[in-house]
Amino acid sequence: MRWTWPFKSRNGNHRNGHHRNGHNGNGHHANGNNGNGDDLNGFIGDAHPDFLCVGAQKAGTTWLYRQLEPHPDFWMPPVKELHYLDNLNRTKRSHPPRSNDERDACFVASIKDLSMRSHIDFDRYGRLFSHKGHLLSGDISPAYSTLSDEVIERVVDHFPNSKVIFLARDPVERAWSQLSMGVRLGVINKFDATNPEEVVCNLLIPGVLARSHPSKIVARWKRYVRPENFRLYFFDDLEENPADLRRSILGFLGGDPEKPSGRLKPHLNNDAGQKKLRLTAKVRDRMAQFFKHELKACAAELGGRAKSWPARYGFSLVLYVWDLLDDSIDLFFWCDWIC
């Protein structure tokens, strides 16, 4: 038995091997590596992101970028969110890109060129990262949490050794934080933040809804990324002990956790002092009700800190686990139907 994973096309064994052949005229591609973890040979001389951080929006991804950018083991792209895989980088930026040196200018020019094309070009996207040299680099685009299976499969297939990180946050708090930001930036119309039904209306904005189900996002990525390449972290840990969280993420990415991130302290919060909407108890209850199923799914499927999320809102997990058990018994009947 090999160490493989469902839908293992992503680790470049023969199944999809040929289609990669056709894409790159340069003859560089994963040569049937089995994903032992040490076989980066398929990409020698060929740039690719070492990692992707795929969300969640409002769960500490900016904190992560700020920690990695000045760290001596990393060269991070001059823009935090590349948004390439979700909309070919055709986004309006709220900040101008960093322009410290030639590498930054080069990166910005290449990604501009890339976003003029109508299709996803994985090889060129990978080559954006050639400026990193021997340092670590990655793409922190929380919008990748909304990518669907079809795209994730191709991404992982092209970059079988890229690590994937997801920062999970309690869906009630996360959604509220997104609504606050949306109103602040003017992308969501002002609404009565004390009216539970109006709030629920805003939770049903497609851009909010699609980012509010960490259990589903994680399930999508886990279907394709090898377990040793995927890690889930919790916003709860960022609040309680950012130094620890920083250490474990750096350790996973292969950076040295002991080296400081310039003069930056691990607890820096870019958004501190930003205006937030006030969350009343009534609205909080209504949101919890809206996310009840998801809160329980997170506790059961993400584990870790998510196990305590349902209890915050007075939900018990016993019934949920019972339902799941019940459902798995039904799976026997499901089989009849497939045939």
Partner 1 sequence: MTCTWPFSGRAVNGRHKNWNGSGANGARPDFFCVGAQKGGTTWLFWQLDSHPDFWMPPVKELHYFEKLSRTNRVRPPRRRDERDVRFLENMKSLSARPAIDLEDYGQLFQPKGPLLSGDVTPAYSMLDDEIIRQITSYFPNLKVIFLARDPVERAWSQLSMEVRRGWISSFDVSDIGDVDRNLLHPRVLLRSHPSKIVARWKRYVHPDRFRIYFFDDLERNPIELRHRILDFLGADPDKPSKRVPPDYNADAGQRKLCLTDKVRARLARFFEHELKACAAELGGPAKEWPARYGFSLLMYFWDLLDDGLDLFFWCDWIC
Least distance from C-beta 38 to partner 1, angstroms?
A: 19
**139/114 Cα distance (integer angstroms):** 15
Q: What's the rounded Cα separation, in Å, for the pair 237 and 74? A: 23
Which tokens is 93 given?
Answer: 């930026």
> What is the nearest approach in angstroms of partner 1 to the Cβ of residue 10?
10
Which residues does residue 139 pair with via DSSP β-bridges, in sequence order? 52
CB of 306 to partner 1, least distance (A): 12
Would you say 93 or 117 has its CB closer to partner 1?
Answer: 117
Q: What letter does residue 60 receive in the DSSP assignment?
A: S
**Residue 162 and residue 48 in contact, taking contact as beta carbons nearer than 8 Å:** yes
**What is the C-alpha to C-alpha distance for residues 251 and 244, in angstroms, rounded to an integer?**
11
Residues 6+ apart with CB under 8 A from 338: none
Nearer to partner 1, 90 or 259 (CB): 90
d(CA 227, CA 87): 27
Among the listed residues 5, 30, 27, the one whose alpha carbon sits nearest the alpha carbon of residue 158 = 30
**Alpha-carbon distance 48 to 160, whole Å?**
10
Q: How far is the CB of 50 from partner 1 (least distance, A)?
A: 21
Nearer to partner 1, 129 or 230 (CB): 230
d(CA 297, CA 309): 10
Distance CA 138, CA 132 (A): 9
Which residues here bind partner 1, judged by CB under 8 A? 1-9, 15-16, 18-19, 22-23, 88, 117-122, 146, 148-151, 153-154, 188-189, 200-206, 208-210, 212-213, 216, 219-220, 227, 286, 289, 292-293, 297, 301, 303, 323-324, 326-327, 329-330, 333-334, 337-339
Taking the complex as a whole, how short is the minimal distance between the CB of residue 274 and partner 1, in angstroms?
22
Q: In the complex with partner 1, which residue's Cβ is closer, 44 or 204?
A: 204
CB closer to partner 1 out of 48 and 66: 48
**Contacts with 186 (C-beta within 8 Å, 6 or more apart), sequence order:** none
CB of 264 vs partner 1, minimal distance in Å? 32
Measured from the CB atom, the residue of 37 and 303 that comes closer to partner 1 is 303
- Residue number with CB closer to partner 1 (132 or 220): 220
Pairing of strands 51-53, 163-168: parallel
Contact 51, 74 (CB under 8 A): no
